[in-house]
Structure 1
Amino acid sequence: MKSFLLLLIFVFTSQIPRAQTCVIKGKVLANNVPLSHVSISLVNARHGTLSNQQGFYELKNIPAGSYNILFSAIGYEPKQLKIALKSDAPLILDVTLNESSSTLNEVVITGASRATVVRKSPIPVAVMTKKMMDQNVNNNLIDAIVKGVPGVSAVTTGPNISKPFIRGLGYNRVLTLYDGLRQEGQQWGDEHGIEIDQYGIARAEVVKGPASLTYGSDALAGVINMIPAMPSSGDNKLGGDITTDYHSNNGMIGTSLGLGYRNNSWQYILRATARQAYSYSNHIDGTVFGTAFKEYNLSGMARVDKSWGYTKMGLTLYDNHQEIPDGSRDSLSRRFTRQVLDNGDDIKNRPVVPADELKSYTINPLHQRIQHYRLYNNTEVKLGGGTLDILLGAQQSIRREYNHPTLPDQAGLYVVLNTLSYAVKYNMPDLAGFETTIGVGGMYQDNRSKNGTDFPIPDYNLFDIGGYFFTKKSWGKLDFSGGLRLDNRTINWDNFYVGTNAITGFGTHVTNNMAGANLQFPAFNHHYQGISGSAGLTYNITDKLLIKGNVARGYRAPNITEIGSNGLDPGAHIVYLGNRNFKPEFNTQADIGVMAYLRDADLSLEVFNNQIQNYIYQTRLTDANGNPVVIVPGNLTYQYQQSKARLYGAEVTLNFHPAQVKWLAFNNSLAYVEGLNKNETLLAQHGNAAKYLPFIPPLHVHSGINITAQRTYHAFSKPYFKLDADLYAAQNHFYALDNTETYTAGYHLISAGIGSTLKNKKDRVICDLFIQVDNLFDTAYQSNLNRLKYFEYYSASPNGRLGIYNMGRNLSFKIIVPF
């Protein structure tokens, strides 16, 4: 069916008559120096490109007419010009941008139907460019975003597993997108990260707040859209880059090759990446056994731009071998131990891991393997004065967790998730100044267990469809945007029986007529429906000062673990118990923001209040005497709960960039969120122990000084030095019932970095160099969002420390060589 639809698209678009087309090209400069990675776009026309290393750009296949062309880049004032294209003769347009430390005007696409400037959007939006992510050298992409966007945090399980949270809400409440396509890879789980190549991302756009209007269920907290990088290249020339990355703490070695080729209106992209690391270390735990990984990525894209619009086809392949830490140790030496038996295993009497295996790149037999494949097509056709956008995608996620030391090739968990996604929208012609979009989108999904021994979720089918309209309009200084959406989702599964394999003694999926068959998942069929929407205003008091307000209603259907769980997830070391009677979550969030663009500083203040109905969360299960319920020895038991909840907080940024001291930038931010459990019955029984919600990040203050030279020193072009300080307050507002969470002490981290672009005598770029030290003073700390904090089997230890600590000092090097 997908192939047939794609064929129809190509046949249809090939029959559209060609209009007269034009070309725009030129060079972008700043201080008489070529400026690369500048975004050049035709406003509301979806034609765009980036300037190359020499500052050159070119836009092709543009129908004759009048346009507004916009030039924007982080650190520079955007420039918008009105142009008229009347013939096939190229329009030569050279532009000079003026420097600014402001990032508040960045043009974004996420969260809106058409190109939108941040200052015009009433919805809180943040942008991270590739340059910013490169300077925030990290073990994974989500951690880089956490460093750069106030209000974003992450639940982690080691350095390569980070799940994004926005304003205290995470898992599948945060919808992650790759090039506009929703990421479907069992994102509700704890023990694996997002399946995306961190070296292949050009920018990340973050919507903070309900975005269900545009994307449907699962965008209750917001959206993170990761846009793939497109290596620059001239016509009929092969261009690209080679990236090499090294981290001292866990020996992480990353290598990525990106290639780009352009032939007239066609563009081709290819990227291959390999990363590996041994287990990380800190001075409390030493080397944390079970946190090594090996990851491989391959992606490709082909795009053609014509007078009728464009179409592009993308493919990504992801393969990750990730070790599974369980935190077992020797009680006296606190050295890590490992499991060697299935039957008869005693967690507190396992053998100590030999020293030579702690820093080995060889993956432990007890590990997980995650494979993710994605094929998608995005086509835009000019139609009736507007544009028709069609996005079709197919994804497959294969997840295996090997947890049987006596049979290392036998997976404990083995599930295959298949997803077909679709989205069709029509950007209507302007009517009385209103820019309106109507659309429909959804997905079909099925999950199947294969040859595993543990079955935490059933084999289910899911069908999702939703329709919406979105409109925006400007009246002088006032900008409005808003709309409504209706979503429908059906989830069902058949009776699922589990028995015992007579040879291995492990669990196995069986039919109901087999002796000893146990009905682990009774049949289920349920339909969920929700209405979402938003309305907001931005008022430009002056060119330098504006205020924003937005009210949004979000919707999220319960995910499969929340309604269907009934078994051990071996990677998480948790037995999950779901509730088939859960209702959908709905939230109403109000946002108010103030932004000021001053001569020497930028200021933004955003406050929010989020009321949630039917909020779903995990809590440890205890018996009538308050003792932990143990269903599978050595594993915790969690049961999902549902109640009302409220989250509120604020983000503040204050960035100084003195006009007379262009080499200096002093950036500061503060992020605060409070999460309150509104379950009156639970509060009456347990008081303050149940007052707060789990997984709420503490107050976070960030300050950074960036000193950037304004000229070239020999081969070093504009070298920079940065010093960052991150203060995390103690988290004493936590969900304490049944020791689900515990108090987390405050801490501060210092990092420093230097870097530069190296150029030859002909002013051509040789490479970009980044050197950084994180946790400069090797501080011992535990983040309250670090799941390893709770990996502990003893009530006391000789050094007074319980659980596993975060990574110690890490020195990293990154070099990017363009060609």
Structure 2
Amino acid sequence: MKYTCFLLLLCLSISGASAQSILSGKITNQQTNEPLVATVYFPKLEKGAVSDFDGTYSIINIPKGTYTVVYSLQGYATLSQKISFSESETTTLDVQMTESAVEIEEVIISTPFHKLQSDNVMKVERVAVNDLNSKGAVTLADGITNIPGVSSISTGIGIGKPVIRGLSSNRVLTYTQGIRLENQQFGDEHGLGINEAGIESVEVIKGPASLLYGSDALGGVLYINPEKFAHRNETHADVQSSYFSNTLGTATTIGVKTSGEKLKFLARGAYAAHSDYETGSEYKVTNTRFNEKDLKAGLQYQGSMLKSTLRYNYNRSNIGIPEELGEQSSSKELLDPYQEIDNHILSWENKLFFEKSSLDVKVGYTFNDRREFEEEVTPALQLKLNTFNYDAKYYLPDFGQFETIVGVQGMFQKNENFGEEVLIPDATVTDIGVMGTTHYHLENIDLQGGIRFDHRAIESEAVGEASEQEYIPAIDRDFTSFNAAIGAKVDFSETITGRLNLASGFRAPNLAELASNGVHEGTNRYEIGNTDLNNEQNYQLDLSVAFRNEHFEVSANGFYNAIQDYIFIAPTDLTIDDAPVFNYSQDNANLYGGEFGVHIHPHPLDWLHFESSFETVTGKLNDGGYLPLIPANTLRNTFRVELRDGKLLKKPFGFISLQNTFDQKNPSDFETTSEGYNLLSLGVGSTIEMGKTSAVLGLTVTNLTNESYVSHLSRLKEDGVENIGRNIQASVKLFL
């Protein structure tokens, strides 16, 4: 530890002693030459500034090297440009921006080269959390279902598990604060465990991302970006409160952040509480109530050669587990059974900048304490999961048009039982992976490829006696996998872009699949694991084509995903302790489908937008039958207006949206078909400026017609329990 501290102090001293480079200039409107208040941002350095009212800007402490700088402003086309900096250099760059109705382009963080979406070889969906909240999302897990190709397996509204193109649980990896989130995601009733307060945006990689993230990224990655620090020499505070009519729920968050020349700090607290939700048939679903406390904090040092960021997140969730319809109540006090979950997430990232290269080192620690209470004061089930992550990437000097990264990632994980019930045994998991990836840029073609090797070791202790029915033998297994990815983006013209990606991914079986032997109360079944399971290995082909001009955008994204040794659970004819017995087994499987979208923003009616998207996925086993938990086909149509600023109202907007979910006629062997439904939503919002204080007001109504429906991905579907009915959300956010 003392050597780590010495190294950090040495880096700080070098950083402070080094000469500083500066970028400054003026941003103006190309048509009128008027100054613009725009954002200037270095993605690789994760630092930036906002220009003053006269359009001038200045960014200091820029290390030697070549970096991409991005200029963005709502209503203007995003610009990006590469700039090289030498030691102790002041660079002046004046920029003229062109008005455009096209949405602001954002830098994609989840892919290694941190490029704008238009420059990215891999198609990644990105959405701001503020946009999800404005559409009436109750939780983050609920909000991400507005992203095409993303769904959620829900237990009420308090528990939601992300589904990407029909794959979920340990096949979808969640990243937050730049490290992987581990919270026993194998369980059907184990939710996301992250509060949306203090989250800036969500990025979704749809398809195998094992090259970048290793095991468990076979189906895709949900990459959660925390809020940014304040710009240099700025201090901001905000408070937001929302009310939800259906659950009589409230959600409040308070945040503050301040930045000096080199040190930055932020902190945010949040609290939410909801009672049982009410369905379209006007009955409350007993014990779907939940509450949540959340605390986030961050500290950052940024010099000319080093940027060091420390973040911490604590989350306490108390979630009711519905079993049967009972007393109709508006109480927020939880009933038995319920879960009490503590998540601690600590991350430390250090970026060292050299003259022509850089080193990025992240370490992370997560602690998940999951307790389930039934009728006793002590928990019937308690699992403690300790996970240590590390991730080091070296960005090699550019060689011509080649950008190259090599890296090593790893994880050490320990699971321990402290309750009366044992779902999975005490065990340790050790991961290590090495990878290399390169990006090659030509005028109209971008190519990207890479390879990776991973090794995972799983060791568990025996549970019980060999003569007992619920005996779980000890496990000592090793899993290895080679994976690769290659892709190309071609600009056929100024308006037409095509992408083709071929990637492989893998997933080692989890402890539940290997070692289960007992009744899983959350699913009301007796599960028996299989110690002989192999890696899941998949190969996915993605093809996308997009047309885009100032009036019209259309895109088509298709995929075919072949999975070898797909692990699934299937019913048997046996019962144990009055519970049906389910066994884990393997078979090859295939998934295919895609997303198709249209966005019309006619000029000169730049304030008017029409957006339409359609998503479909089909999953089949090679030996016959359909895969479970495959979302039904969905069509969304939205009219959105974004009006010009008035004297009082700034950035006023309104929308009306219709979601058509079709019948799911292809259930697995132990599912039933599901009927389609239509959900109508609308919302309005605006910003009111009052001197140095501004207020963002929003009002959203979801399921306006109070339709009665049951989602195919609801875990309450088996009992015929409906999803949430009409909900009115009112929110106020004050910037102080």
Other-structure match for 2:124: 125
Q: 2:52 & 2:672 partners in 1: Cα distance?
A: 50
Q: 2:439 & 2:612 partners in 1: Cα distance?
A: 32
Other-structure match for 2:264: 267
Other-structure match for 1:48: 47
Q: Does 1:768 align with 2:702?
A: no
Compute the displacement of 1:818 (Å).
1.0
Which residue among 446, 452, 463 is the counterpart of 1:479? 446
The verdict on how the C-alpha distance between 1:563 and 1:77 changes in structure 2, with shifts beyond 3 A counting, is: same
The verdict on how the C-alpha distance between 1:73 and 1:785 changes in structure 2, with shifts beyond 3 A counting, is: farther
Alignment deviations for residues 761-809 of structure 1 (CA, whole Å, 9 cap, x no partner): x4x451111110000000000110011111x3xxxxxxxxxx1100000
The verdict on how the C-alpha distance between 1:411 and 1:84 changes in structure 2, with shifts beyond 3 A counting, is: closer
Compute the displacement of 1:302 (Å).
0.3
Compute the displacement of 1:718 (Å).
2.6
The verdict on how the C-alpha distance between 1:67 and 1:668 changes in structure 2, with shifts beyond 3 A counting, is: same
Other-structure match for 2:650: 717
Other-structure match for 2:347: 376
**What is the TM-score with the length of structure 2 in the denominator?**
0.94
The verdict on how the C-alpha distance between 1:162 and 1:51 changes in structure 2, with shifts beyond 3 A counting, is: farther
Three-state SS of the structure 1 residue aligned to 2:225 is strand
Q: Does 1:789 align with 2:717?
A: yes
Matches within 5 A, 1:390-405: 390-404=361-375
Q: Does 1:361 align with 2:332?
A: yes
Other-structure match for 1:165: 163
Q: 1:676 & 1:134 partners in 2: Cα distance?
A: 35
Other-structure match for 2:590: 646
Compute the displacement of 1:136 (Å).
2.2
Of all paired residues, the percent bearing the same amino acid is: 29
Alignment deviations for residues 320-359 of structure 1 (CA, whole Å, 9 cap, x no partner): 11011112xxxxxxxx23xxxxxxxxxxxxxxx3x4xx21
Three-state SS of the structure 2 residue aligned to 1:284 is coil
The verdict on how the C-alpha distance between 1:611 and 1:90 changes in structure 2, with shifts beyond 3 A counting, is: closer
Aligned AA (1:590): L
Q: 1:75 & 1:436 partners in 2: Cα distance?
A: 34
Other-structure match for 2:245: 248
Q: Gapped runs of 5+ residues in structure 1? A: 328-335, 338-352, 499-511, 624-628, 684-690, 793-802
Q: 1:40 & 1:172 partners in 2: Cα distance?
A: 38
Other-structure match for 2:416: 448
The verdict on how the C-alpha distance between 1:563 and 1:306 changes in structure 2, with shifts beyond 3 A counting, is: same
Q: 2:320 & 2:36 partners in 1: Cα distance?
A: 43
Aligned AA (2:608): L
Compute the displacement of 1:309 (Å).
2.5
Compute the displacement of 1:586 (Å).
0.4
Aligned AA (1:669): S
Q: Which moved more, 1:781-790 or 1:516-525?
A: 516-525
Q: 1:484 & 1:85 partners in 2: Cα distance?
A: 32
The verdict on how the C-alpha distance between 1:9 and 1:562 changes in structure 2, with shifts beyond 3 A counting, is: farther
Other-structure match for 1:727: 660
Other-structure match for 1:493: 460
Q: Gapped runs of 5+ residues in structure 2? A: none
Alignment deviations for residues 391-417 of structure 1 (CA, whole Å, 9 cap, x no partner): 10111100001112xx2x121111100
Three-state SS of the structure 2 residue aligned to 1:260 is strand
Q: 1:39 & 1:678 partners in 2: Cα distance?
A: 51
Other-structure match for 2:563: 612
The verdict on how the C-alpha distance between 1:6 and 1:758 changes in structure 2, with shifts beyond 3 A counting, is: farther
The verdict on how the C-alpha distance between 1:272 and 1:540 changes in structure 2, with shifts beyond 3 A counting, is: same
Q: Which moved more, 1:740-749 or 1:91-100?
A: 91-100
Other-structure match for 2:289: 292
Which residue among 619, 631, 639 is the counterpart of 1:705? 639
Q: 1:749 & 1:519 partners in 2: Cα distance?
A: 45
The verdict on how the C-alpha distance between 1:118 and 1:233 changes in structure 2, with shifts beyond 3 A counting, is: closer
Check the 8 A contact 2:519/2:527 in 1, yes or no. yes
Q: 1:400 & 1:101 partners in 2: Cα distance?
A: 47
Alignment deviations for residues 590-630 of structure 1 (CA, whole Å, 9 cap, x no partner): 0111011123111111110000001112223333xxxxx3x
Other-structure match for 1:688: none
Other-structure match for 2:70: 70
Q: Does 1:594 align with 2:542?
A: no
Other-structure match for 2:315: 318
Q: Does 1:695 align with 2:629?
A: yes
Alignment deviations for residues 76-105 of structure 1 (CA, whole Å, 9 cap, x no partner): 4211346576756685857645232346x4
Which residue among 570, 573, 578 is the counterpart of 1:622? 573
Check the 8 A contact 2:229/2:264 in 1, yes or no. no
**What is the TM-score with the length of structure 1 in the denominator?**
0.85
The verdict on how the C-alpha distance between 1:453 and 1:746 changes in structure 2, with shifts beyond 3 A counting, is: same
Q: Does 1:753 align with 2:670?
A: no
Aligned AA (1:205): E
Which residue among 483, 507, 530 is the counterpart of 1:579? 530
Aligned AA (1:701): L
Check the 8 A contact 1:413/1:570 in 2, yes or no. no
Other-structure match for 2:705: 777
Check the 8 A contact 1:285/1:804 in 2, yes or no. no
Check the 8 A contact 2:525/2:581 in 1, yes or no. yes
Check the 8 A contact 1:101/1:665 in 2, yes or no. no
Three-state SS of the structure 2 residue aligned to 1:280 is coil
Which residue among 178, 181, 200 is the counterpart of 2:176? 178
Three-state SS of the structure 2 residue aligned to 1:192 is coil
Aligned AA (1:731): Q
Check the 8 A contact 2:307/2:351 in 1, yes or no. yes
The verdict on how the C-alpha distance between 1:84 and 1:431 changes in structure 2, with shifts beyond 3 A counting, is: closer
Q: Does 1:191 align with 2:201?
A: no
Aligned AA (2:331): S
Q: Which moved more, 1:154-163 or 1:79-88?
A: 79-88
Matches within 5 A, 1:77-92: 77-81=77-81
RMSD: 2.5
Aligned AA (2:135): N
Compute the displacement of 1:706 (Å).
0.4
Q: 1:613 & 1:436 partners in 2: Cα distance?
A: 30
The verdict on how the C-alpha distance between 1:92 and 1:262 changes in structure 2, with shifts beyond 3 A counting, is: farther
The verdict on how the C-alpha distance between 1:58 and 1:444 changes in structure 2, with shifts beyond 3 A counting, is: farther
Matches within 5 A, 1:501-580: 520-580=471-531
Alignment deviations for residues 162-184 of structure 1 (CA, whole Å, 9 cap, x no partner): 11111111111111100221011
Q: 1:411 & 1:636 partners in 2: Cα distance?
A: 25
Alignment deviations for residues 201-260 of structure 1 (CA, whole Å, 9 cap, x no partner): 11111111110001000001111111111363662x541211111110011211101110
Q: 1:117 & 1:457 partners in 2: Cα distance?
A: 42
Compute the displacement of 1:8 (Å).
5.0
Q: 2:9 & 2:388 partners in 1: Cα distance?
A: 22
Which residue among 602, 607, 620 is the counterpart of 1:658? 602
Alignment deviations for residues 30-76 of structure 1 (CA, whole Å, 9 cap, x no partner): 8999988x653336x42433649989975331136765421235764
Check the 8 A contact 1:231/1:240 in 2, yes or no. no
Q: 2:269 & 2:717 partners in 1: Cα distance?
A: 34
Q: Which moved more, 1:383-392 or 1:644-653?
A: 383-392
The verdict on how the C-alpha distance between 1:621 and 1:53 changes in structure 2, with shifts beyond 3 A counting, is: farther
Aligned AA (2:420): T
Compute the displacement of 1:632 (Å).
3.8
Other-structure match for 1:419: 387
Aligned AA (2:107): V
Three-state SS of the structure 1 residue aligned to 2:131 is helix
Which residue among 211, 215, 218 is the counterpart of 2:216? 218
Three-state SS of the structure 2 residue aligned to 1:169 is coil
Q: 1:169 & 1:539 partners in 2: Cα distance?
A: 29
Three-state SS of the structure 1 residue aligned to 2:399 is coil
Q: 1:92 & 1:477 partners in 2: Cα distance?
A: 25
Check the 8 A contact 1:163/1:170 in 2, yes or no. yes
